[in-house]
Chain A
């Protein structure tokens, strides 16, 4: 199995201190900063599960004998800090911490690269800094953002990512300062979590409309913790819209769904199908979604069910693809000896 989305958390700000420049060591300690509030906002205790703070816990609780590889996501809400140096230095610190204390001791691990998404040039610099491009496999873009991800604003980041062979990882969560919906502040977490799918959708519209799929022909996107079953209706709408409005976006030279099916994959947790696993499977088949799936447990987050309930119903050939081979091809993960 290749688990494409597993979460670890920075236990406290002190953990990052060895990886931060002196200026921040002093200032953050002086101000007794306890870390970004955005992490708990996106994953309150009711859904966060028991956070995983070190490699030992990960091995014990998540990695199994069957785990060939796992991609670790460390969300640290760096985008909630607007200071251009702090946001960039925090991102770099998280990456250094991941490399030293997770990737180095555990060869099965891969990781999402954290970047300062508010400053795409700085993000590009962070992307280009890394030699370990086979261990950091995608660039983490939490989807709650101030700009749609197709915007030319982000192109320096995409250029660097494409150049260095990174996939872009669009992930549930993020902090923008504004309401995470199209219609104002939600009342409940359940509501906000449900609405997150809309934000993924808006970014896909943007990636197509702005021509990112054309400008960066080798750039690929993984949608992490996004839900899966909402995708087809978006593709239909996109295709329908393109047939009418191609002349506004003439760089889109074929059906948007064709681009997207070629360039995106989605992790399986959560699938968001009906309660009946067989019905979910039927839907995935009818909508031709299986080939886009990458298995993920999303441990330790609480979803109420596991995608394995559905994936276990697949034919063995299909299971192999979703549980490991799709991810192997997508991320270039070479088979363990």
Chain B
């Protein structure tokens, strides 16, 4: 007979024992406005207080949903800080709990700040990167991070990349999913050159505000469809990038699609190839088929993991484009659609592929040093 009041949930045992684990998408965030202010100059503190962001997140879809701040209900720290903003709690609930060797931070604030205009936008995003370095990377050696940028201000974005290029703890550059133009647009090429020169992949994550309905066919009404509809913009970026010639111009450019799923890339590659072949005359300078660029230049985090009707269908998708080497495991902590390391991947994956997805691919992509 044992009754222990308020025992913590059974430890997330059965962590994938024997597997190194690298979490390629964790969302830390500012604990408060005061913290943000402390990283802004007086001028921008005042602006932030008196005017604030000028691009409005058009609606707060999560309000009609079932998860406050789109977070796991149990990810609210006892400290009272917002989910993902308490390092100690994140250590306990995520890094220690699962034995994560490296975690890659994609800061939550990029969602809103990644597309704020002008010098103010550049100042905000710089503040966020400084916060990341000082309050997350400095105290916690397991963490790595992305350099967040304001992509629609390419000059500022290039400056921001160059600022952090020599800090090996910044392992990629973070763009939001919804910018003013599709990613292949030439206005973004200076950003890609700067990232490639620094040896940093370009990561793209859900977020941003560009004034266009995310589906292309109108604004969604519900969180349900909006969230399910995150996939479409990634597809549009794939079309844009693979047709733009950017990979011929910048051969070392790497693209990481974060939180976009991956199975859609398979039918999209077929569709793009068909169109590119049939209409060769439209883009005479294009040297290769889109599927070839897709195979060489794209990576995908696994969360939210595909849950097809049958495991075989999962394998069909992975095999169709040899995605074994391209999938990067991610939990998306602290969001509600968190993928548990011990349960998310189909059981039928081979040991070899599992290792690649859990760590091998990330180690190769990001050049992460391994502990002895």
Mark A residues whose CB is within 8 Å of B: 46-47, 143-151, 176, 178-191, 193-195, 197-199, 201-203, 205-206, 208-210, 227, 229-230, 232-234, 236-242, 244-245, 247-249, 270, 272-275, 283, 286-287, 302-305
The CB with the most chain A CB atoms within 10 A, among B222, B236, B261, B337, is that of B236
Q: Contacts of A178 on B, CB cut-off 8 Å?
A: 212-213
A20 to B227, CA, bound (A): 44
A249 to B306, CA, bound (A): 22
Residue B177, interface by CB 8 Å: yes
Chain B interface size, under 10 / 10 to 19 / 20 to 34 / 35 or more: 35 or more
Flag B266-295 by CB within 8 Å of A: 1 or 0 each.
Answer: 111011111111110111000000000000
Known: A181-B216, A181-B236. A272 touches B308 (CB 8 A): no
> A319: shortest Cβ distance to chain B, in Å?
22
A182 to B275, CA, bound (A): 20
Q: Contacts of B283 on A, CB cut-off 8 Å?
A: 188, 190
Docked-complex contact A209 and B224, CB < 8 angstroms: yes
Docked-complex contact B224 and A272, CB < 8 angstroms: no
Known: A179-B212, A180-B216, A286-B313. A190 touches B236 (CB 8 A): no
Of A46, A245, A249, A275, which contacts B273 at CB under 8 A?
Answer: A275
Q: Would you list 9 pairs from A and B whose C-beta atoms are within 8 A, ordered by A residue?
A: A46-B281, A143-B217, A181-B212, A182-B213, A182-B232, A194-B271, A206-B220, A206-B221, A229-B266
Docked-complex contact B228 and A241, CB < 8 angstroms: yes
Flag B220-260 by CB within 8 Å of A: 1 or 0 each.
Answer: 11111101110111011101100110000000000000000
Docked-complex contact B218 and A146, CB < 8 angstroms: yes
Nearest to A206 among chain B residues (CB) is B225
Nearest to A236 among chain B residues (CB) is B308
Flag B180-220 by CB within 8 Å of A: 1 or 0 each.
Answer: 11111100000000000000000000000010111111111
Besides A248-B222, A272-B267, 6 more A-B contacts (Cβ < 8 Å) are A151-B221, A181-B216, A183-B237, A199-B217, A201-B232, A245-B66
Q: Contacts of B221 on A, CB cut-off 8 Å?
A: 148, 150-151, 206, 209-210
A205 to B222, CA, bound (A): 10
Residue B47, interface by CB 8 Å: no
Docked-complex contact B66 and A183, CB < 8 angstroms: no
A287 to B313, CA, bound (A): 8
> B323: shortest Cβ distance to chain A, in Å?
13
Known: A181-B236, A184-B210. A240 touches B216 (CB 8 A): no
Docked-complex contact B223 and A245, CB < 8 angstroms: yes
How many A-B pairs fall under 8 Å by CB?
A: 237
A210 to B64, CA, bound (A): 14
A199 to B243, CA, bound (A): 19
Docked-complex contact A202 and B236, CB < 8 angstroms: no
Residue B19, interface by CB 8 Å: no
Residue B82, interface by CB 8 Å: no
Q: Contacts of B166 on A, CB cut-off 8 Å?
A: none
Q: Contacts of A304 on B, CB cut-off 8 Å?
A: 274, 277-278
Docked-complex contact B231 and A183, CB < 8 angstroms: no
A188 to B229, CA, bound (A): 23
CB interface residues, B 147-203, toward A, < 8 Å: 177-185
Docked-complex contact B267 and A198, CB < 8 angstroms: no
Docked-complex contact B278 and A274, CB < 8 angstroms: no
A127 to B209, CA, bound (A): 38
The 8 nearest A-B residue pairs measured at CB: A202-B215, A304-B278, A209-B225, A229-B267, A198-B232, A148-B218, A182-B233, A147-B218
Docked-complex contact B220 and A230, CB < 8 angstroms: no
Nearest to B277 among chain A residues (CB) is A304
